[in-house]
Structure 1
Amino acid sequence: MKTALITGANVGIGLATAKALARRGFNLILVCRNEKKGKEAMAIVKQINPAITVELLLADLTDLGSVRRVAQQVNRTHQKLDVLINNAGYSPDTIEFIDNIEKSFFANHIGPFVLTYHLMDLLKATGEARIINLSSAAYALGSASRFFKRNENLAVLSAYGDGKLANLLFTRELANRYAEAGITAYAVHPGVVNSGFGTNFTGALGFMMNLARPFMRSPERGAETSVYLATAPIAVLQKKDGQSGGSGGFFADSKPKSIRHGDNTNKQAAELWAKSLAFV
């Protein structure tokens, strides 16, 4: 049986992804921030398929100590890891900083980077492992020139875009670095999903999100592309369409999509990796 680790697996897209993979017979490691909600998610997933194993580990992606502890525990108790889904994310309502790094960039890129880095040996041991990073079409609002820089005047949507752009570049660099190890990496736009996203927004942005919520897609629909990338035959995923698709590509609605951003280069991806190593 294959094993998948999913961050943010207790709500929204993460829980929907866990449920879908449980139906397909995956053993699951659920990495959650909230123990109570995590245990509820465990029970739901286990009920779907009693034949699988379901583990709950607690971590906050803005607390790198907890991220490292989770990675150490997984390394101690598992011989390999087939699928890593960096699903958990954070949408800022105000600009906050952690060690001079904007909080959503920390949660959306640095935390997942550190987790992935420390799980790499297990992924390599699989022979054909997949890493799926939840990004967003909001990458268009990002700029690599702002990465790792403290900016008190940063707009919240620009901050969110920076993290989502970093997800694309991280995916690209993973594909470049680990192809020979049999590891493929994919970035995902799940669509605008009626999950936990934006529930912390206040003011005009919160008002707009509440108006839009009835028109958003369900978490199950939002999870479809992640599930597709975790389960489709590798030969299908590696078919390339121009510069999209294949390992390192960006997917939405279970199809490869073009990335239109001047910062989407191998040079920027390598620079992001090098600067992220400081947090490992």
Structure 2
Amino acid sequence: MKKVSFAEFGGPDVLHLIDAEEPHAGPGQIRVAVRAAGVNAVDWRLREGQKLTAHPLELPAGVGQDAAGVVDEVGAGVEGTAVGDRVFGEGAGTYAEFAVLSAWARMPEGLTFEEAAGYPSVVETALRIVREVGVRPGQTLLVSGAAGGVGSAVLQIARDRGITVIGTAGAANQDYLRSLGALATTYGEGWTDRVRQLGRVDAALDLAGSGVIRELVGLTGDPRKVISIADLDAPELGVRFSGVAGSVPDALAEAAGLIARGRLHIPVERSYTLAEAAAAHIDSQAGHTRGRRVVVV
């Protein structure tokens, strides 16, 4: 089979499309014929050699953890899933023609493979950090870097729970944030004053790692009310860095329910082929995404 792999840490140029042996589902796992794989920041962070405790890595390594596809192998002990089912979930080495998933859910009706591949990690992350930051219905949550995949999910999850959201993003994404129910403003000089004009901030999330931790602490008044998923130096300012996933099956089940009720939709901004994986990483690192980027197999 074809898969994207890297044998050394470095820039996007270390990614290569190679011929590899097909993986097989172990106990409690399934294998899918991958139709699309989500592109996440963790993919290029691992490729660069960043030490992410939740993602131990040995070289050579595959790339990707999110996928949507058709089940073609079911491991021992798996119940309720059969060959031919259309599923989305998390596994390893998903930029490939076949991948093994350790957590999955049946794809909601009407969702394409490309759309479905964009959900697993971002929805798990969004649900986790909204829970960890402790924001409650009736309160206001500030989201810095709100237009990407995680931000798109956070805005809609918060809206569904009765939480007001203020989102920061580039000028081109202001209408997009408003379409998801957020109060929108741009980042850049004077952004904290613009946020204050929109209302009191009870909690804040840093999704972009753009060096705004001090400002977020100032706006909330308490570092315990700020969580980052992008700034590894956040703990130096008393802010929690959230990088360890919770229950992925539970998150996928909740996501499927939100999607089915029309309460959650994350658009796909751009699709890439397996051979274009390096370009996908370059674009992902550049940021400014509206929704998700996916690799189509």
TM range (shorter): 0.3 to 0.5
- The structure having more radius of gyration, on CA atoms, is 2
What is the TM-score normalised by the length of structure 2? 0.36
More relative contact order in 1 or in 2 (CA 8 Å, sep 6+)? 2
User: Greater helix percent: which structure?
Assistant: 1
Task: Calculate the TM-score normalised by the size of structure 1.
Answer: 0.37
